[in-house]
Amino acid sequence: MKKVFVVTHTHWDREWYTTFEVYRQRLSILLNQLDSIFKMEDRFEHFHLDGQTVVLEDFVENDGMKEGFFELVRQGKIAVGPWYVLPDEFLISGESFIRNYLYSQQIAKKFNVPLSRVAYLPDMFGHNAYTPTILRGLGMEWAVVWRGVDDVKGTSFVWSSPTGESIDTVYLVHSYSNAAHWGWDEERFKLQLCSEAKALIDIDSENEPLLMNGTDHEIPRPDVGRILKEISNEEMKFVHASLEEYVSQLKKPRESLTGELRSPKRAPILKDVLSARIWEKLMQYEAERLYLHYVEPLFATAKLSGIDLPLESLWHGWKLILQCHPHDSLCGCSVDEVHKNVQDRLTRAINHGKAILVRALLEVCGKPVDKMGLTLFNPLESEHDGMIELNVRLPEGEWKLVSQDGRPVECVLFPTEDVQQDLNMLIDFYSQPSTIDVFKDQGRWYKCFLKTSVQALSFKQLSFVQGERQKTGAFESIFAIQENGTLRVEHGGKSLENLCYVEDVEDVGDEYNYSYVCKDKYDSKNCTAEIETLIDSNFFKRVEARFSLEVPAQIAADRKSRSRQTVSIPFRFVYTFHRDTKRVDVDVFFNNTAKDHRLSVVFPLEGLSELISDGYFGPVKRSIQKLEGDYSSWSELPENQFPTYWFVSVPQYRMTIIPKGLREVFVDENGLHLTILRSVGWLSRDDLITRPGHAGPGFETPGAQGLGTHRVSFSIVFHDEYDITEIYKAARECVISPLAFQARFERLPRIDVDIERGFLSAFKPTDEGVILRLFCPDGSKPSMKTVRHATEVDLAEKPLSERTKIKHVRSWMLR
């Protein structure tokens, strides 16, 4: 006799084809009915609440504290967690994934409820190569996944990261909805349960079948327990169970997979959500960067200085960010109203982060003494010796910048009128007794560019003194701007031309997937650009290239070709070249006036065979495939399209692109593309070439066309020494520049940590102390020295065990 495990559940998309507030009322209906079902139906034994705890907050805010419901959670009859939300795994950092778990722990403590120990990941659009690293570091023993799996014959496998950390994994072959009731009558539902159980036994005769009795926002049948008893027979016994009960009786999987799970063969991975509503990805990048690399390190510095800042304030910002991480939110695949709310949460998180950052600075450094200097804070694990840019306000006269010992600092000051509220204004706002002093005329505004070294995890102070400004100069660069506004590069014996040209092609897809009808392409290679040198200094040079690209206005009415009407899209490429590094920073400003199209910046690199991008704690190698087979049976057409977070690197050219919030690259016959905009007008359509059928409701989403002004940024680095450590170092130096404030303070704190090997992943406060986490992307063991008391812990911030130990990722609790 086979025992068939039936897990009754709901999959709770918090916002999607309608708004959170509308969904919350259905959540209230579901959970109140669930409470009644448990009281009335003895055979209804367990319910799985989708692996999330945010629903507990949402329920209590609407219904109040329902003790009967929470007692069911405490008794283990309703399973919640381990996550706060179910996040997309490619659009967030590994540290955000860990914060997700840690905040869920806080929710559990608040409501005094246990959390599931099964890493439930049922509907992610594929899975990050280093997710097993995180799950092992958090102490998980089993994961549950669906999308992205290929080359597995059974219903379980051992899933390993590229660096070897592994977790036993349940594979939901027919999705998390394989035994949903769908509102069917009882007989049809019974037939479905029996049919699916037999199908899973045929697929895997060794493992007991797992039936997931639920689907999106489904309210359970009260009589499911009775039905399971009635359909049980000598061949199959159906039991109402929890995921914990199911995994507890599974044997060690025989099959194994390593790395990223992102195959579209068996289930659609909806891969082009990487570029849907791309402006939200940029906001998420800014929010994560702010909290992980600036706010948390300053809070940690305060903690080590004996100053206890309110962690509630820090978690408030993280909560707003985390609520944007589910795929229907951050992936950009919901109705327009939802995405207004996503952008509002991210905006609030960013504004809150900036405010508490400045308050933390004032706590650790004291009140500003004067404004005739700069204070710098380097949150990196290594010395920074690059350009820093900020706005300053100085009295009339000639000014230069010097170090504390009086040595001149390379600095360029340019008068500017383009000044917005910044962190310097907040310093005045929080330190002055009267707000009138905040807006006093204190001189002329300048754009200040300086180049100086700042030691790792350290503060530095500089002073403005009267004196002749540094004269502008010139330097040789490997980069040159061509007439069409693109770049020419000479490096490593290779000459590259037309780097950074723009390509436009139609997109008749939806928010989930790009699709085409005619591949009618336009590009900027034959444009003539207006080229203007904006700044030419001793240590950097900034040049602007302006041009317009004429493209079809939209797709034709029959959606079989592009319209004959054209519009002009103006572009402004601002290139910043550096004297001491083979790097160019690129800021692209454009006004999108067209619909139904995709824009990419192209790097025409020939003969590409491999790329290297990154996962949470290490590199991911990506082979460029010749996709010439028959893919008509696949759930989605495969493409050489890849997610990226920190970088995408090209070994053949010793070249790395650092995308700064852009998340999609792809390779075709023209080279490597970095997607900068994808304009579509539908949540889902069923007429795509690249994916059969709908992926969601067929609602129009005009806001996803992205009409209006945009700014995207990326950098290009050419390496003399090429290895994974150098790639990470270049990317981090480019993205994590020192904080700079126009003020000199009463004191500068010391952090007293010497990082010997590895990159800083986290430097954050806890109730007990400060977490310092390092990782080595080459797989080696990180190390550090400190005079402080340090205890090694796991990713869950618990005492380290053999189970949670990760060789190339180490965490310490500092006190």
The answer to whether residue 472 scores a pLDDT higher than 70 is no
What average pLDDT score do residues 668-694 get? 98
Q: Is 402 exposed, middle or buried (0-12, 13-18, 19+ CB in 10 A)?
A: middle
Residue 783 contacts residue 756 (beta carbons within 8 Å): yes
Check residue 470 and give its pLDDT. 67
228: helix, strand or coil: helix
The answer to whether residue 107 scores a pLDDT higher than 90 is yes
Rounded to the nearest 5 degrees, what angle is found at the Cα of 617, between the Cα atoms of 129 and 293?
Answer: 130
- Measured CA to CA, the distance from residue 296 to residue 301 in angstroms comes to 9
The answer to whether residue 420 scores a pLDDT higher than 90 is no
Provide the pLDDT confidence category of residue 439 given band limits of 50, 70 and 90: confident
Tokens of 748: 């500068």
Report residue 552: phi and psi, to 5°.
-60, 145
Instruction: Print the SS3 string covering 651-668.
Output: HHHCEEEECCCCCEEEEE
- Measured CA to CA, the distance from residue 458 to residue 208 in angstroms comes to 56
What average pLDDT score do residues 541-556 get? 98
What is the maximal distance between C-alpha atoms in the chain? 94
Tokens of 642: 């890849």
Check residue 473 and give its pLDDT. 72
- Nearest to 283, CA basis, from 340, 334, 343: 343
41-82 pLDDT per residue, tens: 999 999 999 999 999 999 999 999 999 999 999 999 999 999
Report residue 704: phi and psi, to 5°.
-75, -5
Tokens of 545: 């290239």
Tokens of 296: 């948390």
Positive or negative, the CA dihedral 68, 74, 78, 83 is positive
249-273 pLDDT per residue, tens: 999 999 999 999 999 999 999 999 9
Number of H helices, E strands in the chain: 15, 43
- Measured CA to CA, the distance from residue 207 to residue 394 in angstroms comes to 73
Report residue 148: phi and psi, to 5°.
90, -10
What average pLDDT score do residues 750-765 get? 97
What average pLDDT score do residues 663-690 get? 98
What average pLDDT score do residues 723-738 get? 97
Check residue 535 and give its pLDDT. 94
**CB neighbours of 22 closer than 8 A, spacing ≥ 6?**
none
585-624 pLDDT per residue, tens: 999 999 999 999 999 999 999 999 999 999 999 999 999 9
The answer to whether residue 136 scores a pLDDT higher than 90 is yes
Provide the pLDDT confidence category of residue 644 given band limits of 50, 70 and 90: very high
Tokens of 751: 């952090």
Q: Which helix (H) or strand (E) holds 59?
A: helix 54-63
- Measured CA to CA, the distance from residue 151 to residue 263 in angstroms comes to 9
Question: Which residue type, as a one-letter code, is found at position 188?
Answer: R
741: helix, strand or coil: strand
Rounded to the nearest 5 degrees, what angle is found at the Cα of 27, between the Cα atoms of 26 and 29?
Answer: 60
Provide the pLDDT confidence category of residue 435 given band limits of 50, 70 and 90: confident
Tokens of 482: 């061509």
Which letter, b or e, does each residue of 169-197 get, where b requires 16 or more Cβ atoms within 10 Å of its Cβ? Answer: bbbbbbbbbbbbbeeeeeeebbebbbebb
What average pLDDT score do residues 352-371 get? 96
Q: pLDDT exceeding 70 applies to what percent of the chain?
A: 99
Chain mean pLDDT for the chain: 96
Residue 150 contacts residue 266 (beta carbons within 8 Å): yes
